[in-house]
Structures are given as C-alpha cells and as structure tokens.
Structure 1
Amino acid sequence: MRPFKYSNASDAATAIGIVSANPTAKFLGGGTNLVDLMKEDVMRPTELVGVTRLKYAKIEKKVDGVSIGATATNSFTANHELIREKYPLLSMAILAGASAQIRNMATNGGNLNQRTRCTYFYDVSMPCNKREPGTGCGALHGENKNHAIFGWSEECVATYPSDMAVALAALDAVVHVEGTNNTKRSVQFANFHRLPGDHPENDNNLKHGELVTSIHLPVNQFADKSYYLKIRERSSYAFALISVAAALVTDGNTIKEVRIALGGVAHKPWRASIAEHWLIGKQATEANFKAAAAAELKNAKPLQHNKYKVGLAAKAITRALEGAMQGGVYGAMEADSTTTNNN
C-alpha cells in the first residue's frame, strides 16, 4: 500500500472541500472495497477523508417514503423495522451480499460506489481501461465467463457487483448528493450508475468531491410480493452470476405493476423494462413470466465464455417472479458446472 494522508471530517462541507481540492483524494466509509483496492495497488489515493462520523446514519420515515442515511451500515439498514416491513426487497438483497462481518462495516453510500470485481481490473499486470484508460480491455477477448451480456462496449465488459443496488434500481430509489458550496442535487437511481461507453473509468455520474448523503425510497405497494434471487457459484462469499430483484402489485391474478432489475449482467444494475412492459395487464402465470423473460433477453449480447448467462437469466427472472407471487422470501441458488457452461 502506498503512503496517504488521512483525516476525519467533522462536517460534510469540510469533507467535500478536502476531496474536491485534491483530484486523488477519496471519501472513506467502511473501507470494505477501497482499502482492498489500495492494498492491491489498483487504486492509489493520496488522501482519505473519513465520513462515518458525519450525521447521515439515520433511517427515517417520510411523508413520501423512507430516507436511509449514506453512512448507515448495510446490516443496520437490512434489519431496520421500516425496511423489513415496507421494503423487504431491499432487506433481502442486502442480506444476500458479502458476509455478516462486511455488512457490519460497509456503508450504504460506499456500497453504491464500490467497483467491479473483474479479475483484469484487480490484476495490475493486465490491460484494463477501467483501471488505466487506453490500455485496452483484457476481458473482451479473454476470460469473460462472469462478464456482461447487456450494455457493454469495446472498452469494457465488466459488471457491477452490488446486490443492494439491484433492489434500489427496482424500487426507483433516488440518491441525494451534496457538493461544494452547499450545492445539493437528487439523482434518479436509473441515472446514478452508467454504462461504460468510451469512459469505463467512470462508474457513476457523480462529480469528483460530491458526497452521497442519503437514499430515498418512494412509497410503493410491493411489500407483499417481493423476491430477491441470487445465483452464484457457491452459497456464500460469492458475487452473483445472475441476480434478480422482482416485485409485483396484482389485482387478483392480473398484474397491475411490476418491477424487475438484474445484477451480474451489465456495468450497472439492469432494469428489465421490456419484460416489465410486456407483463402489465397480463395474468401472473409461469407461461407469461417465461415469455416476458424471453422478450427481455432477446437483446442480450453474450461474449465468448458467458453465453450460459442468457438462459440462466431467463430462468432466474421466471423464478423470481414466481417467488414474488408466493409472498417472497430470500432465494439463493448455487450454480454448478453444468449451469455455467457456454451452451
């Protein structure tokens, strides 16, 4: 690890001012991703500003939903009464991620800002446009079994790893951020993260020095029919090959509202809008779930080694929607070698 300066900020303005003034400075929350990257020499900040002491750890009920603080830990958030009762999809997704020890340290703001787990990104001896723009994407024609099938570019085929963010995408969350001179703005979750395009080094649309302060969850009627499915190569301590956040509102068996978001398939949480539109007004049947999934996956662009993800995603969407209709409990499935072949 390279030398760096460290300080704890007493207020948001101070933290933002320090980071904004130094192009190589970073905010430090729980450090569960950033510190690892520093140890591997992938990221080289010259200055870290601790933000966990800032007053953004509350989870509060609002007239139009619930606000979750950016410095609240993932564990506190997942187990909070308001989240478990009103937004069980988010609770399920958070508890599917990482390990209890990491969830006890990781902050909500840090979770949104975590970086890809692509092996080419972590290996500083390999080319990676995300780590070092202009060097090429090693995964594009390399080992890309775990990589994107939607939204990738010639510059980057990496996927975004968060489970929490997949649920937030399905719930139409809004991210509140603060910048210099006390400027504040709200970012719709669909616009928070970005696809790689020509600048894969940018994971999201935050400006340097902007600090995530809270995440707003709008009021919805999905609590009774929500389900999070995570498919991975082992039952714990593994990132998703495919994950699905699914939520439904029905009138009898007719679908009135539906939300579907996918993880493990793109550079950002992937909202399955084609499948959602297909299902509105339809009966909540296995056949319709399969048809909607097939419509969504028509636009998938698998790479050489991850063709299995297309069929796996279609089955996962179907299973997640069925789980939501059954009342929703957290689902996990361990993939075997036959699940992840290239056929």
Structure 2
Amino acid sequence: MRPFAYTRAKDAASAIKLLTENPNAKFLAGGTNLLDLMKEDVERPNALIDISGLGLSEIKTITTGANQGGISLGGLGKNTEAANHPLVRQQYPLLTQAILAGASGQIRNMATNGGNLLQRTRCPYFYEVSMPCNKRVPGSGCGAREGINRMHAIFGWSEQCVAVFPSDLAVALAALDAVITVRSANGQQRSIPIAEFYRLPGDEPQKDTNLPHGELITAIELPKNRFAEKSYYLKVRDRSSYAFALVSVAAALETEGNTIKQARIALGGVAHKPWRALKAEQMLVGKEATEANFKLAASAEMADAKPLAHNAFKVELGNRSIVLALQMALNGGKV
C-alpha cells in the first residue's frame, strides 16, 4: 500500500471541501472495497478523508416532497442496519433480500449504503495490475475482451470494457426506482434517479457513475410502492456463500386479481450497471400473471444480449432466472 494522508472530517461541508480541493483524494467510510483496492495497488489515493463520523445514517419515513410516504436510508448507514430495519423489512423486503445475498455478516456490519453504490468491479483484469485494463488505466486495453470472460457482461458492453457491476443492493434499488441524494461543494443538495446515476462504459469505462468528484451521497430515497407482498431477489452464483452473481434478478409485481398492473425487473451480473429489464416489464403490464407470459417477457429481454466467448450460458441462465424470480415474487417469495 502506498503512503497517504489521513484526515477525519468534522462535518459534511469540510469533508466535501477537502475532497474537491484534491483530485487524488478519496472518501473513506466502511472501507470494505477501497482498502482492498489500495492493498492491491489498483487505487492510489494520496489522501483519505474519513467520513465515518458524520452521522448521515438515519432510516426514516419521508414526510414531504415527491417521495412522500417512502423511506430514506442514510448514505453512511450500515448495510446491516438497512437490511434489518422494520420499515425496510415491511415495506421493501426486496431490499432486505438483496443486502443479505450481497455479503457476509461481517462485511454488512462495516459497509455503508453509499459506499455499496460506489464499489468498483470485481473483474480480475481490473484487479491484476500487470494486465491491461481501460477501467484502471485508460487506453491500456481490455484484457477481458479476448481473455477469460465467463463472469463478464452480455448487455451494454463496449470494445473498451466488458466488466460488470457487482452490487446486489444497487440492483434492488434499480427495480425500486430509488433516488440518490447528494451534496456538492457549494452546499447544494440534488437528487439523481438511480437510472441516471450509473453509466455504460462507452469510451470512458473508468467512469462508473455520473457522480462528479467532490459530491457526497447523503441519502437514498425509496418511493412508496405496492410491491411489498410480491417481490423477490434471486441471486445465481457459483457457491451459495459470499460470491458475486453470475446473474441476479430483482423482481416485483403489483397485481389486480391475476392481472399484472405493474412490473419491475432489474438484472445484476450482466452489465456495467444494474440492468433494468424494460422490455420484459412493458410486456407484462396488463397480462395475466402466468408462467407462459413470464417466459415470453424473459425471452424478449434476453434477445438483445450479446454474449462474449465464454459467457453465452448467461443468456439461458438469464431467461430462466427472470422466470423463476417472477414466479417467486408472485408467490410472495415462497416456492
């Protein structure tokens, strides 16, 4: 690990000021991803600004504004607190399931909600500093493009990068239309819909999000919805404990009788960002909630997949996973 300066921020304003003044500085909260990257010499900040003491951890009902009736998760709240909070478990069980699927209990106790959203890819070519990686060193090439790419993207990739985004929490938040609240250097607060927060690699794969350097995630807002009774998070992985997804699906349904009024589907493990399955959602609205319709919707979504040399299996796996997740959601999470 390379030398770095360390500052414990007293408040949000001073933390943001310190980060804004230094393009090579990083915020430090739980540190579950950043410190690993520093040890591997992937991330090389010359300064860490510790924001773990700023508060910003409250979970509460939103009483005003566009998301009134929903809940707000503090950006520096721990994943464990979010997963186990009564408001989350009762109103957004999909989120609890995703967090519990995402990491071990020890990591959930340290990882923050905002930090989870900003974690970097687990692509082995990104972590191996001797290999080319445009995400780590822009212009160096993409080792995974023609290398071993079993775990990599089948949607939205570019010739510059085929890495996937690892967060389970973010996939559930994408299905729930979450809004990210951030504070900038001028003290202004702004809200970013999660659909606009992440980006595809294009020609700048080093940029995971549209969050400028110097902005701090203060909260995550979840709009009120009617998905609590019929939602499910399915994670398919190589082993059942602490592994990243081959394919994951966050599925939520609102029905009237057996007719689907609303559907939300987001996929993980398949793209540079949480992949919202909009084609599948649109096909399901107004249809009967049947296995046949679930299969048609899944096929429509997966038809646009562009697998790489070693991950064509993800297309069929995605098809089956969408259908199963929708069936589980329809049954309230029960087999």
The alignment yields a C-alpha RMSD, in angstroms, of 0.8
Q: Aligned partners of 1:141, 1:109: CA distance in 2, in Å?
A: 33
* Aligned-pair CA distance for 1:50: 0.9
Q: Which residue of 2 aligns with 1:97?
A: 102
What residue in structure 2 maps to residue 25 of structure 1? Answer: 25
Q: Which runs of 5+ in 2 are unaligned?
A: none
Match of residue 296 from structure 1 = 301
Alignment match, 2:73: 68
Counterpart of 1:164 in structure 2 is 169
Displacement of 1:183? 1.9
Cα distance in 2, alignment partners of residues 270 and 182 from structure 1: 32
- Whole-Å Cα distance in 2 between the matches of residues 54 and 328 of structure 1? 37
Rounded to whole Å, the distance in 2 between the matches of 1:140 and 1:173 is: 32
Are positions 1:87 and 2:53 aligned together? no
| 1:69 counterpart letter in structure 2 | G
Q: Distance in 2 between matches of 1:194 and 1:29?
A: 23
**Other-structure match for 1:341:** none
Q: State which of 249, 267, 270 in structure 2 corresponds to 1:265.
A: 270
Q: TM-score, normalised by structure 1?
A: 0.95
Aligned to 1:35, the other structure's residue is in SS state helix
Match of 1:113 in 2: 118
Deviation sequence 1:207-265 (CA, Å, 0-9, x none): 00100000000000000001000000001110000000000000010000000000000
* Aligned AA (1:9): A
2:212 maps to 207
Partner residue in 2 for 1:248: 253
**Structure 2 letter corresponding to 1:14:** S
The sequence identity of aligned pairs, in percent, is: 64
What is the CA distance between 1:55 and its match in structure 2? Answer: 2.2
Structure 1 segments of 4+ aligned residues over 6 angstroms from their partners: none
Residue 304 (structure 1) shift: 0.5
Residue deviations 1:174-216 (CA, integer Å, cap 9, x gap)? 0000111102211000011110000000000000010000000
Which letter maps to 2:44? R
Counterpart of 2:34? 34
How many Å separate the matches in 2 of 1:92 and 1:225?
13
Q: Does the residue aligned with 1:6 lie in a helix, a strand or coil? A: strand
For structure 1, the 5+ residue unaligned runs are 332-343
Amino acid in the other structure paired with 1:27: F
**Number of matched pairs:** 330
Over residues 8-43 of structure 1, what are the superposed CA-to-partner deviations in whole Å (9 max), with x where a residue is unaligned? 111101000001100100001100000000000000
Q: Deviations over 1:25-74 (max 9, x none)?
A: 00011000000000000000000011111120000011311000000000
Aligned pairs (5 A) from 1:49-64: 49-63=49-63, 64=68
Normalised to the residue count of structure 2, the TM-score between the two structures is 0.98
1:16 lines up with 2:16 in the alignment: yes
